[in-house]
Amino acid sequence: MSPRRPLLNPRKVFTAHQHEAVLSAVIMAESNGEGSAAAAAASASGSGKFDVQLWDQVELVYQRVTKGRHDLKRIKAYLDGRADVARTWVKGMKKLSDVPDTLEDSSSINQVWLEMKETSSSQIKQQESFAQACQDLSQMLESQIVELKKTKTSLHATWSKVVADVNKKQAAHDKARDAYYNSVKVAEQADDAKETAIRERQQDKVISKLEARAKQCVKQVDDLHTAYQKSVSALQEAQQTHDATVADVLQQFEKLERQRLTVFVEQLKKFADQHDELKTNIEAVAQTLHTKVNAVDIENDVQEFIRANTTGKQPSPHVEYLPRRSEIIGHALDAPASGSSSSSGASAPVAPSSSATVTSSQSGAPIPIAPSGANEQAVALYAFEQNEPDDLGFQAGQVIKLLACDEKDDWWQGELDGKVGIFPKAYVKKMDANAAVAEPAAADASAVPAAPPVGEASAPSPAASPDGADAGAGVGAGGEPGAGGVEAPKLMDARCTALFDFDGQDDDELSFKAGQHLIITGELNGWYLGRQEGQEKVGIFPANFVQIQS
């Protein structure tokens, strides 16, 4: 029997106790690393630093900085919008500056207006300054936004790199550790098998084979243990690098965050300062305007206008009743003769030619006036158109038989050509019962004036020009010279006011409205030659349609 082989070096054999001791040492080394100790110390100190309290929240810190950058972008957009609003306001206010600098009213109200214009200019400048300040703040935020993005992206990439390296080294460490632990277990099993064979005094060949197997396992344990130790060293180095890098990254993140908040507060303070300036300017404007408005003296302004524009002239007298002088009506026989002036300065109506007759509008034959004691009759001064079934229509010059003609009534009843109806009394004149009226068939209708509106005051008829038998010359109907020649107008220079509307029928007649002022340059047989004030056109018009101013 061969001699027994010596036992393996006991230092190379791992007992169960030794195995547990090795595992405990490895676990303690991993759990009591430098980073964990630092975290525990920081937690106890309560210093409030990113790299101390938030050493395991790098991603959360990164998200915080990212959201802060987004907030800066929102604030920048708001400042840009406020700048645009201020510029739009300035643009609108500058358009308002195109209005006149002074009012037509030169009273104390004008002083308020001037102050409003001046304060508007001041507010425009203030708003322009505000818009520029908002723009400057926006540009400052923009630079901060760009720098923040660049820095945070770089820090996050650095942190991600060391995390990836630690994860890689951790995976290698775990693999080496598991291989080492398994080799120890196999070596222990081989050693137990060898010891059993020796106790049982098995064949030397078997014992030798088991001893070789145990020795081979121990060698494998030594190799895997070395590899495991290297993986631990590599992981520890990566962890140390990670801890240092994380601390640096968190410190820079904290610096960025504090810088962002500082910039935010500084810009908001400047923004608030700009509002203080706006408020001060607006309060000053309001105070100035209140002062100017309170200084307005309404009564003094009104009295000053009256004093500045009083002419001292007396009002023109009112128009007086001037009846038409005629032989066929009785109430006007005592009226002033044609061409004489009343106290009001207006010319009396001119009596028609003695040869005037009334002609029937149907037959054209003269209509005799009823003899004395017969029913009253009236001659139509104007044409009246029938508008209602009970109206009596007629033409100017026709003679109407009066059936009811109370002077108190505005409407009379009469009969014409067998028809009975009512008509305005202002359109006719009663005829003298003892006079006979005869009118040539060739009477000129153009000499008959237009009728006034029903219910209004009647305008006098223009003076009829005498025919060639009664006067050698004159202005005929429509302003044409009479057949006997042209008489030169009497020159004069006077100012008059139109009492009634006059609508000229011919090119040489001057039309006007009641109340207009005219300049008289000549007079001819009851007609004036002149023009309207401020106009160049010269024409003739009836003298009894105007009143000469004193």
- Convert the pLDDT of each residue in 291-323 to its tens digit: 878 888 888 878 888 888 887 777 777 776 655
The domain boundary, picked from 421, 442, 463, lies at: 442
Over 60: is that where the pLDDT of 326 sits? Answer: no
Note whether residue 308 is domain-resident. Answer: no
Does residue 474 contact residue 465 with C-beta atoms inside 8 Å? yes
Note whether residue 466 is domain-resident. Answer: yes
Note whether residue 421 is domain-resident. Answer: yes
Q: How many residues does the chain have?
A: 550
- pLDDT tens for each residue of 215-225: 999 999 999 99
In this prediction, residue 463 carries a pLDDT of 57
Give the Cα separation of 317 and 29 in Å (integer).
Answer: 128
In this prediction, residue 3 carries a pLDDT of 36
**Number of neighbouring beta carbons within 10 Å of residue 258:** 11
Note whether residue 13 is domain-resident. Answer: no
Whether 376 and 392 share a structural domain: yes
Q: Which of 193-207, 271-285, 380-394 has the lowest mean pLDDT?
A: 271-285
Whether 173 and 155 share a structural domain: yes
| CATH at 468 | 2.30.30.40
Whether 147 and 285 share a structural domain: yes
Give the Cα separation of 119 and 166 in Å (integer).
Answer: 70
In this prediction, residue 174 carries a pLDDT of 96
Torsion of CA 6, 12, 14, 15, to 10 degrees: 40
Mean pLDDT calculated for residue range 395-399: 85
Give the Cα separation of 12 and 1 in Å (integer).
Answer: 28
Q: Is 515 left (phi over 0), alpha (psi -120 to 50) or beta?
A: left
Mean pLDDT calculated for residue range 159-183: 94
Of 360, 329, 495, 333, the residue nearest 441 (C-alpha): 360
Please state, in angstroms and as integers, the Cα–Cα distance from residue 550 to each residue in 30, 72, 134, 341, 494, following that order.
Answer: 128, 85, 73, 12, 9
Over 50: is that where the pLDDT of 544 sits? Answer: yes
Query: Which of the four pLDDT bands, split at 50, 70 and 90, describes residue 355?
Result: very low
Over 60: is that where the pLDDT of 467 sits? Answer: no
In this prediction, residue 433 carries a pLDDT of 57
Whether 405 and 506 share a structural domain: no
In this prediction, residue 120 carries a pLDDT of 79
Please state, in angstroms and as integers, the Cα–Cα distance from residue 353 to each residue in 356, 402, 447, following that order.
Answer: 6, 25, 12
Note whether residue 500 is domain-resident. Answer: yes
Please state, in angstroms and as integers, the Cα–Cα distance from residue 328 to each residue in 174, 433, 456, following that order.
Answer: 146, 8, 24
Does residue 291 contact residue 111 with C-beta atoms inside 8 Å? no
Give me 10's structure tokens.
């006991």
282 or 357, which is more confident: 282
Whether 281 and 144 share a structural domain: yes
Give the Cα separation of 154 and 333 in Å (integer).
Answer: 122
Give me 296's structure tokens.
């307005």
Over 90: is that where the pLDDT of 340 sits? Answer: no
The domain boundary, picked from 425, 442, 459, lies at: 442
In this prediction, residue 320 carries a pLDDT of 67
Whether 155 and 88 share a structural domain: yes
Give the Cα separation of 225 and 178 in Å (integer).
Answer: 10
Phi, psi torsion values for 396, nearest 5 degrees: -60, 135
331 or 506, which is more confident: 506
Percent of the chain with pLDDT over 70: 69
Give the Cα separation of 326 and 370 in Å (integer).
Answer: 18
Whether 281 and 425 share a structural domain: no
In this prediction, residue 336 carries a pLDDT of 43
Its pTM stands at: 0.42
The domain boundary, picked from 442, 461, 494, lies at: 442
Exposed/middle/buried for residue 544 (C-beta within 10 Å: 0-12, 13-18, 19+): buried
Whether 474 and 369 share a structural domain: no
Over 70: is that where the pLDDT of 479 sits? Answer: no
**Number of neighbouring beta carbons within 10 Å of residue 321:** 7
Mean pLDDT calculated for residue range 484-504: 75
Report the greatest alpha carbon distance in the chain: 200
Does residue 487 contact residue 525 with C-beta atoms inside 8 Å? yes
In this prediction, residue 229 carries a pLDDT of 94
Q: Which of 177-181, 451-455, 542-546 has the lowest mean pLDDT?
A: 451-455
Q: Which amino acid is at 292?
A: K
Mean pLDDT calculated for residue range 176-195: 94
Whether 149 and 250 share a structural domain: yes
Mean pLDDT calculated for residue range 83-97: 86
| CATH at 147 | 1.20.1270.60
Whether 285 and 170 share a structural domain: yes
Note whether residue 207 is domain-resident. Answer: no
Give the Cα separation of 213 and 296 in Å (integer).
Answer: 122
199 or 306, which is more confident: 199
Half-sphere exposure of 424 (CA within 13 A, CB side): 17
Mean pLDDT calculated for residue range 463-482: 39
Over 90: is that where the pLDDT of 481 sits? Answer: no
Over 70: is that where the pLDDT of 335 sits? Answer: no
Over 80: is that where the pLDDT of 35 sits? Answer: no
Mean pLDDT calculated for residue range 59-77: 91
In the predicted model, what is the mean pLDDT of the chain?
75
Over 90: is that where the pLDDT of 498 sits? Answer: yes
Percent of the chain with pLDDT over 90: 34
Note whether residue 50 is domain-resident. Answer: no
Does residue 208 contact residue 5 with C-beta atoms inside 8 Å? yes
Of 327, 291, 303, 362, the residue nearest 107 (C-alpha): 303
Note whether residue 78 is domain-resident. Answer: yes
Of 233, 220, 238, 231, the residue nearest 177 (C-alpha): 231
The count of domains in the chain is 3
Over 50: is that where the pLDDT of 370 sits? Answer: no
Whether 391 and 480 share a structural domain: no
- pLDDT tens for each residue of 236-286: 999 999 999 999 999 898 888 898 899 888 888 888 998 888 888 888 878
Domain that holds residue 274: 59-97+125-183+227-291
Whether 435 and 478 share a structural domain: no
**Number of neighbouring beta carbons within 10 Å of residue 209:** 15
In this prediction, residue 329 carries a pLDDT of 65
Most confident of 204-208, 335-339, 489-493, 525-529: 204-208
